[in-house]
Chain A
Amino acid sequence: MSGEREVVIAGSADVVGVRQLVRSVAVEIGLSLVDQTKIVTAASELARNALVYGGGGDVRIEIVTNGPRRGLKLIFTDEGPGIPDIEQALTDGWTTGGGMGLGLGGSRRLVDEFDLVSEPGKGTTVTVTKWSR
Chain B
Amino acid sequence: MSVHADVARRRIEELLRTHEERIVRRWAEIASAPSEELKELYRALLAALEEGKNDLADVRGLLAELSRSRARAGFAPSDTARAVFGLKEAVYEIVEADTEGVEAARGFVWFSRLIDDLGLFTFETYAEARERIILDQAEQLLELSTPVVKLWEGIVAVPLVGTLDSARTQVVMEKLLQTLVETGAEHAVIDITGVPAVDTQVAQHLLKTVVAARLMGAECVISGIRPQIAHTIVTLGIEFGDIVTKASLADALAHAFKRAGIEVSGGGNARVVIRAERV
Contacts and interface: CB of A to CB of B under 8 A. Distances in A.
Contacts of A99: 200-201, 204
- Where chain B touches its partner, the secondary structure class is helix
Contacts of B163: 16
Interface stretch (B116-124, B231-239, B261-269): B231-239
Interface stretch (A55-63, A68-76, A105-113): A105-113
Given A41-B197, A106-B237, 13 more contacts: A19-B197, A34-B227, A36-B228, A37-B197, A41-B232, A44-B199, A48-B199, A100-B203, A102-B236, A105-B237, A106-B200, A106-B236, A109-B236
A48 B201 CA distance: 9
6 contacts: A34-B232, A37-B228, A37-B232, A45-B199, A107-B236, A109-B235
B105 interface: no
B196 interface: yes
B273 to A, nearest CB: 40
Most buried by B among A36, A106, A109, A110: A106
Interface in B103-128: none
Given A37-B232, A38-B231, A48-B201, A100 B238 contact: yes
Interface of B: 163, 165, 196-201, 203-204, 227-229, 231-232, 235-238
A22 B120 CA distance: 37
B192 to A, nearest CB: 13
Contacts of B238: 100, 102, 106
